[in-house]
Amino acid sequence: MLGRALRQYQAHAAVHAAIDYNDPASVQAGNEAAIQMRKIAGRIGSKGEQAIEEFARFLEEPANDLCLWAAFHLLEVMTAPTELVDRAFEVLEQQSLEDDVAAFATRTRLRELRKLYGK
């Protein structure tokens, strides 16, 4: 079950990464992929610490921004151990240093998450 959920999460990240913003169907598919990823993360998080630790391996996977999705979902929809919370913040802080729209959005959400976590 966990392996299947992790593979689905990865597949949805690939769909989102491939969005063609000139194609409304592609945008819709990407938006649906983001919704499904959040749902999958919630289900994985409900399976306990071992499942969360398996999911956290995605923090080391830059392809299709999987590490960023995982970092946000670890912080937003899971109750992760402190060391994984810290690693998720590291991933997001690194992304926030870039000079693009995604980094700006990450910086904005990171401020909110820091407040939530008291960091």
pLDDT for residue 24: 97
Give the range of the structural domain holding residue 82, as residue numbers without chain letter: 2-117
Give mean pLDDT, residues 38-61.
97
> Would you call 49 helix, strand, or coil by DSSP?
helix
Q: What's the one-letter identity of residue 69?
A: W
Torsional class of 26: left (φ above 0), alpha (ψ -120 to 50), beta (otherwise): alpha
- How many domains does the chain fold into? 1
29-49 confidence digits (pLDDT tens): 999 999 999 999 999 999 999
For the range 42-49, what are the long-range contacts, defined as Cβ-Cβ under 8 Å and sequence gap of 24 or more? 42/77, 42/78, 43/5, 44/2, 44/5, 44/6, 44/9, 44/78, 45/73, 45/77, 45/78, 45/79, 45/80, 47/2, 49/81
pTM for this model (two decimals): 0.94
Residues 79-94: tens digit of each pLDDT: 999 999 999 999 999 9
